Homo-oligomer: A and B are copies of this chain.
């Protein structure tokens, strides 16, 4: 199986994500989150929408967001631009130095969906949209041609791929720089995705397609995997898999979760498969947890609860990679009368701690333990099995020291050791 060695991920939380939130996310929070995304390595970020502020109030602050965010040289900032007036506003921002490099133009492959969303038919939507794409290109912007409901429409039913071909060709004629077949309300399944992209890639071999799935039916990762197998390198996602139909007064035509594929789960899956994402698992998980805090609710991510597969992160244990609340890989130690006999210098509890920590990767040479606040309960039997777990309580002096809650249990649940352990890693 051949997967792309490297992908380019677009984080959509600040637009496709929060558009479904009933409450306005304060501008400073949006800015903080976008900055954070850029800092941890996202190279593509969907930052806002220029939808009419009265229609989608969540983005009434689009200009403030664009003004407020720090600009990272190698990051592409992306905004949704639904119509000519919106493009005017954006180009004005661009001219004043706080624009974006790329916009998303949106149409649906289903006319019913256009009618429900825009109150317009194909014949009414296409001419002004063509002009919008051309104007944006003339102004030096890249343009994503988004084709909503490419995998099915909750209003129209099946959408023929021929319609997606037609709209792709049309977008390319107007100068669109990439094509995003949107799985707007999560109708896609992985077999369909596989067949869809095989056909799209055969027909448009040079086009950059952006894989954009919604996790409505839990298939976001499976669909992403299917798209990867077809060589797709651009992938959209949203922290916590939040999102959905914009919170407007328009009639709802879907139900359930309807956010994008979950960023944190997707990044971990890709990293696990050895695909270069340019992102660190723990950074992404921390950012996802911060996003949950911002919105005041637990989101739909899994790795935020389970943690990564720690033994596949091959880092040497060091204070810089730890954070408060982090649970590190537990370790197990089996001591038999033989091992004890063979190693008269075995020093418990340090040995249990060291053996457990080693499961997380090689230990630095300078490591020193402060066991003063670690309590040992009772004596060990002849044969003992210890499972030792650690939770980071604090990271001190820029990672030179870390404080852990430690709990070591025998296999029957009896506590052998608990308390607080301090480890000094030395200067980095």
Complex: A269 Cα to B306 Cα, angstroms? 24
Tally of this chain's copies: 2
Contact indicator A330/B253 (Cβ below 8 Å): yes
Q: Pick the most buried of A157, A251, A385, A412: most chain B CB atoms within 10 A of its CB.
A: A251
Which of A121, A190, A330, A359 lies at the interface centre, i.e. has the most chain B CB atoms within 10 A of its CB? A190
Pick from B155, B269, B411: contact of A359, CB under 8 Å = B155
CB-defined interface of A215-238 with B at 8 Å, one 1/0 digit per residue? 111110110111000000000000
Interface hits, A8-51 → B, CB 8 Å? none
Task: Report B-chain residues with C-beta under 8 Å of the C-beta of A294.
Answer: none
Tell me, in angstroms, the Cα distance from A154 to B308 when the chains sit together: 10
Residues of B within 8 A of A155 (CB): 330-332, 359, 387
Q: Which residues of B contact A409 (CB under 8 A)?
A: 250-251
Asked if residues A251 and B186 are in contact (CB atoms below 8 Å), the reply is: no
* A217/B255 in contact, CB under 8 A: no
Residues of chain B with a CB closer than 8 A to A306's CB: 186, 216-217, 254-258
A283 at the interface (CB under 8 A from B): no
CB-based nearest B residue for A265 = B218
Q: A140 at interface (Cβ–Cβ under 8 A)?
A: no
Cβ contact within 8 Å between B225 and A311: no
User: In the complex, which of the residues A226, A255, A327, A387 has the most CB atoms of chain B within 10 Å of its own CB atom?
Assistant: A387
Chain B residues with CB below 8 A from A407, complex form: 251
The chain A residues found within 8 Å of chain B, CB to CB, are 1, 3, 112, 115-117, 119, 121, 152, 154-158, 186-187, 189-192, 194-195, 215-219, 221-222, 224-226, 248-258, 262, 265, 268-269, 272-274, 301-303, 305-312, 327, 329-332, 334, 359, 385, 387, 389, 407, 409-413
Known: A115-B385, A190-B225. 10 other contacts (CB 8 A): A3-B191, A152-B312, A155-B332, A155-B387, A216-B302, A217-B269, A218-B269, A219-B269, A251-B409, A253-B330
